[in-house]
Amino acid sequence: MVARKHELEESDRELRARLEGCVSAEDAEALRNQLSKQESEIMELQIKATEKAEIADLATEQARAMEQLQAVHSDELEAMRRFLVQVQSESDDLAEAGILQAKLLDRDRQIHQLTSKVAGMDRELVRMDDYVVRLEDTLEKKSQQLFEQSEASSDKAKRLERQVEEL
């Protein structure tokens, strides 16, 4: 009977030692909640990254349109210059040449304004691209954290299952 008592006490000590490293139900629930929260954060970041990419695409399209408009204006300006040269060679009418010169100067001013707008849009596009890269980096970090926590939770769950099976 004393041997049986020692045997039971030894068994009790072994069971207590095994259960010391286990995760409690509260800890497991907290880990699940944290995992769920991080998954939702990742989804939000993915949505934001998509939105920023769409904005960057729109800005790129606008920059291309501005470049095309600038090319059209440059062609018009060149045509006006040729016309001015032709008018000056055919006629000594200074008034008409003055009007054309004013139009030419106005076109130069418009081209300069459009060039400035395109440069501003290019800077904005670069800023947006940098923002998208930062969002993607954040998304990658969050995904890595989620993966690591998922692996840790999975390992803890497996250990608990083994301990429960051993009991």
Confidence band (pLDDT; 50, 70, 90) for 98?
confident
Percent of the chain whose pLDDT exceeds 90 = 17
The confidence score (pLDDT) of residue 16 equals 65
SS3 labels along the chain? CHHHHHHHHHHHHHHHHHHHCCCCHHHHHHHHHHHHHHHHHHHHHHHHHHHHHHHHHHHHHHHHHHHHHHHHHHHHHHHHHHHHHHHHHHCCCHHHHHHHHHHHHHHHHHHHHHHHHHHHHHHHHHHHHHHHHHHHHHHHHHHHHHHHHHHHHHHHHHHHHHHHHHC
Are residues 104 and 84 in contact, defined by beta-carbon separation less than 8 angstroms? yes
The confidence score (pLDDT) of residue 162 equals 87
The confidence score (pLDDT) of residue 21 equals 64
Average pLDDT in the 21-47 region? 80
What is the spatial distance between Cα 77 and Cα 105, in angstroms, rounded to a whole number? Answer: 9
Whether the predicted pLDDT of 89 surpasses 90 = no
What rounded mean pLDDT belongs to the chain? 84
The model's pLDDT over 110-163, given as tens digits with 9 standing for 90+, comes to 989 989 998 988 899 889 989 989 989 998 999 899 899 989 888 888 888 888
Confidence band (pLDDT; 50, 70, 90) for 17?
low
Task: Record the pTM.
Answer: 0.35
Domain ranges for the chain, please list them.
Answer: 27-166
The confidence score (pLDDT) of residue 51 equals 92
The confidence score (pLDDT) of residue 92 equals 62
The model's pLDDT over 40-56, given as tens digits with 9 standing for 90+, comes to 888 888 898 899 989 88
The confidence score (pLDDT) of residue 7 equals 81
The confidence score (pLDDT) of residue 140 equals 92
The confidence score (pLDDT) of residue 166 equals 79
Percent of the chain whose pLDDT exceeds 70 = 87
Are residues 38 and 139 in contact, defined by beta-carbon separation less than 8 angstroms? no
